[in-house]
Amino acid sequence: MTRPLTVGLDGSPESLAAAGWAAREALLRDRPLRLVHASVLRTPTLASGTGPEAPMPPDGVRREYARALLDRTRARLAGRHPSLRIDTGELPGQPVTALVEAGEEAELLVLGSRGLGRLAGFLLGSVSLAVLARSELPVVLVRSGDAEEKQPPANPATEGSPATGGSLAAGRRDVVLGLDLSKPGDALIAFAFEAASRRAAVLRVVHGWTLPRSDRGDILPEPRDGTAARVPRALSEVLGPWQEKFP
């Protein structure tokens, strides 16, 4: 069974950007794309001591919105990537649980994230954060922006082919792997090397450590325990086999 790349949609610009990224990634991996929308249906329960729950749209309206969102996104992606296999699905139940379960059946789960800026970190919504905490499989966060519009439609038959003058590396950013040498994790390293290889991109490996302090509390310019010399050797030992596998 071929696992798809699954995207969680909620109609936000971030989730639509995630769908665009996932579509291109699915073509690179030669995998189908699955678009899903998770929605909690109304129940007649009461919040203890507070009266009825806050008003929610009728279930029929919510289903209609979900179907329209999925159909509209599918049509847009199919028009941009005609060869891409696209499936859709509505997921009942709590969004976090539904998305985690959907991710268990996927090769990759892709979600949108509201970025603070080009150089800032991710501003996560409660759903994205909870899914990240619970998922045991890879999850990719995509921020909204103009990157998709600058990308040409992905075409595995020609993109990156010398015969056509294509270049996977053109316009693509480096893949960055943050590596903890105390527990490097083969799955994480494999993911990074494979991502860089598919894109013909540069793989940058980053490792950091905390500088020691002197007895007066000043940060020493260089560790006295040999860390600066030991780290490059450790990185070479961990990454050596992977560099042979991905020359």
**Best CA proximity match to 95, nearest among 22, 149, 43, 38:** 38
Cβ-count burial 138-162 (b if 16+ within 10 Å, e if not): ebbbbbbeeebeeeeebeeeebbee
pLDDT higher than threshold 80 for residue 149: no
Q: Whole-angstrom Cα distance, residue 134 to residue 162? A: 42
53-82: per-residue pLDDT in tens? 545 556 678 889 999 999 999 999 999 999
Q: Whole-angstrom Cα distance, residue 103 to residue 7? A: 9
Going from N- to C-terminal start, the domains of the chain cover 1-157, 168-247
Contacts of 150 (CB under 8 A, 6+ apart): 171
Residue 245 is encoded by which pair of tokens?
């596998």
**Best CA proximity match to 98, nearest among 8, 221, 213:** 8
9-28: per-residue pLDDT in tens? 999 999 999 999 999 999 99
Q: Is the CB of residue 201 less than 8 Å from the CB of residue 173?
A: yes
pLDDT higher than threshold 90 for residue 50: no
- In whole angstroms, what separates CA 213 from the centre of its chain? 37
Domain 1-157 falls in which CATH fold? Rossmann fold (3.40.50)
Element (H, E) at 74: helix 59-80
Q: Which own/partner contact pairs does 215-222 have at CB distance under 8 Å and 24+ positions apart?
A: none
Q: Whole-angstrom Cα distance, residue 226 to residue 85? A: 53
pLDDT of residue 173: 86
75-109: per-residue pLDDT in tens? 999 999 999 999 999 998 889 999 999 999 999 99
Confidence of residue 201 (pLDDT cuts 50, 70, 90): very high
